[in-house]
Amino acid sequence: MKYGLFTIGCQMNQSDGERIAGLLESHGCSRISDEAAADVIIVISCSVRQKAMDRIFGKLNAWDKARKKRGLRLVLTGCVLPADRKRLANRFDHILSVRDVKKLPALLGLARQQTATRAITNADYLELPSLHESPFQAFVPIMTGCNNYCTYCAVPYTRGEEASRPSSEIISEVKQLIHGGYKEITLLGQNVNAYIDPETAQSAEILQSRARSTWQFKKNQPLQWRTATTNVPKDFAVLLQRINGLPGDFWIRFLTSNPQDVSDELLATLPRCQKITRYFHLPFQAGDDEILRRMNRRHARTYYLDLINKIRSSWPGVTISTDVIVGFPGETAAQFKKTVDVMETVGFDMAYIAEYSPRPGTASARFFKDDVPKKEKTRRKTILNEVLKKTALERNQQLVGTATRVLVERYNKRTGENAGKTETFKTIHFPGIAMIGQFADVEITEATAWGLRGIQGKIK
């Protein structure tokens, strides 16, 4: 059976695609990139933004024709909101939750349906072997799902509650990757710093207390808001220390973190572990406390700014990126100005700025009016992009004349240039012989807002 993968969305979806590929190939299937020749297409969808779903709707007519004409089979998985499941029920042969992807071979007639001998958890499918797209960079999911119910977010509804993988399983996967020559391991999860190792007794207690703190938006229930959680798990810091201690020359990255779950242990661990790259992605979403409260974020503006100061003072040279939403329901011009102020105060290296779009079934879509006009959302996004351009350029210019280690990802034969990422997750180009998949020491000679250029040299 020939299968195609149509993956949209975040790194977690890409990683799920690699696991689905591993599963199907272990049943004799082979992947092809030409959709017209595929027997089955697995669509890994994203419900976080309407734009992502629009890409799927844009393909439906062509897929419908192929289903009728040549019996193409279509499977939908990934992040699918209940409302989209209903709308798409007739357009796919199978729609299954990502936690159920192990059933795929049986659904496609490649194996007999296994009877589950124990309850399936949201994280069980993560034990499937991955077929990594890259021979030197790998995503390793450590947890999935989320208990935070930010009012705009689809994840708790599409992926379910937080569930973490046992640390022994993660360590053994990382060891295999290092043994196979992998140079960059990215630990993935919706909230990696909420990782709770199911194998330790201390985790069991925290897990219970976090499950109790799970909260779902109900009409007439006042929004709850904490400045920081009291039950910050320490297990992510311990996991990082264990992976850092494995022999080999490799980098550790991690995505995504929630400000409320940054423990003191994590802050102490990051600068101590040489293999952890100096890059922290920490979404703040909005700069105004009332908007944060309506988003059900559990951090206030001052808490976030203090945290950034702590990170920068304990971890010299770290670069920081963030996620921001503009035009959240009810966001006034004055409230938006506070977001601009956070952007200017922090001076991010990178920011992923999104215009708010209501996701069907989420609390903000049900209870708040999407009342900021599209034109105004776009205007606010442009303003933030201008701030980002300025701060990113300033930060990059400070790097000119310094040296950095780079993992080379691509080579352009025409220009004779390597392109890759610095340890601090900045894109850099430098001339020389092709070094794809290798580390290079590069001296930075030029900077723009969105990247660096350099020449190969020795790190002093």
Rounded CA gap, 204 and 220, in Å? Answer: 33
Nearer CB in complex with ligand SF4: 113/221: 221
Rounded CA gap, 397 and 183, in Å? Answer: 27
Rounded CA gap, 321 and 273, in Å? Answer: 20
Query: Considering only residues 13, 15, 97, 148, which one is a binding residue for ligand SF4 as defined by CB under 6 A?
Result: 148
Query: How many residues make contact with ligand SF4 (CB under 6 A)?
Result: 10
Nearer CB in complex with ligand SF4: 258/424: 258
What is the dihedral sign for C-alpha 328, 329, 332, 338?
negative
Upper half-sphere CA count for residue 300 (Cβ side, 13 Å): 9
**Nearest residue to 265 (alpha-carbon basis) of 189, 318, 193, 171:** 193
x/- contact string, 234-263, with ligand SF4 (CB under 6 A)? ------------------------x-----
Nearer CB in complex with ligand SF4: 146/170: 146
DSSP per position, 117-157: SSPPPTTGGGGSPP--SSSSEEEEE-EE--S---TT--HHH
**Residues in region 153-172 near ligand SF4 by CB under 6 A:** 153, 155-156
**Residues in region 121-140 near ligand SF4 by CB under 6 A:** none
Contact region with ligand SF4 (CB under 6 A), list: 82-90, 142-150, 407-415, 449-457: 142-150
Nearest distance in Å: CB 372, ligand SF4: 19
> CB 27: neighbour CB atoms within 10 A?
13
Nearest distance in Å: CB 169, ligand SF4: 22
Nearest distance in Å: CB 205, ligand SF4: 22
Nearest distance in Å: CB 191, ligand SF4: 6
Backbone angles phi, psi at 450, to 5 degrees: -110, 5
Per the CB < 8 A criterion, the answer to whether 306 and 351 are in contact is: no
The SS3 of residue 28 is coil
x/- contact string, 258-297, with ligand SF4 (CB under 6 A)? x---------------------------------------
Rounded CA gap, 443 and 401, in Å? Answer: 7
Residue 146 found at the interface with ligand SF4 (CB under 6 A): yes
Nearer CB in complex with ligand SF4: 165/299: 299
Structure token pair of residue 43: 């669509």
**Nearest residue to 183 (alpha-carbon basis) of 406, 344, 431, 381:** 406
Nearest distance in Å: CB 49, ligand SF4: 12
> Would you state the torsion angle of the CA atoms of residues 152, 158, 160, 163, taken in this order, to the nearest 10 degrees?
-100
**Residues in region 179-198 near ligand SF4 by CB under 6 A:** 190-191
Structure token pair of residue 358: 């209501």
> Would you state the torsion angle of the CA atoms of residues 34, 36, 39, 42, taken in this order, to the nearest 10 degrees?
60
> CB 41: neighbour CB atoms within 10 A?
22
Nearest distance in Å: CB 157, ligand SF4: 9
Nearer CB in complex with ligand SF4: 124/261: 261
Query: Considering only residues 41, 46, 88, 150, which one is a binding residue for ligand SF4 as defined by CB under 6 A?
Result: 150
Nearest distance in Å: CB 388, ligand SF4: 20
Residue 335 found at the interface with ligand SF4 (CB under 6 A): no
Contact region with ligand SF4 (CB under 6 A), list: 110-118, 144-152, 175-183, 214-222: 144-152
> Would you state the torsion angle of the CA atoms of residues 54, 325, 219, 154, taken in this order, to the nearest 10 degrees?
40
Structure token pair of residue 27: 């049943």
Query: Considering only residues 2, 39, 94, 149, which one is a binding residue for ligand SF4 as defined by CB under 6 A?
Result: 149
Question: Directed axis angle between helix 301-314 and helix 264-272, to 10°?
Answer: 30
Per the CB < 8 A criterion, the answer to whether 366 and 157 are in contact is: no
Nearest distance in Å: CB 365, ligand SF4: 14
Nearest distance in Å: CB 4, ligand SF4: 28
Nearest distance in Å: CB 356, ligand SF4: 12
Residue 225 found at the interface with ligand SF4 (CB under 6 A): no
Contact region with ligand SF4 (CB under 6 A), list: 133-141, 151-159, 324-332, 407-415: 151-159
What is the contact surface with ligand SF4 in residues (CB under 6 A)?
A: 146, 148-150, 153, 155-156, 190-191, 258
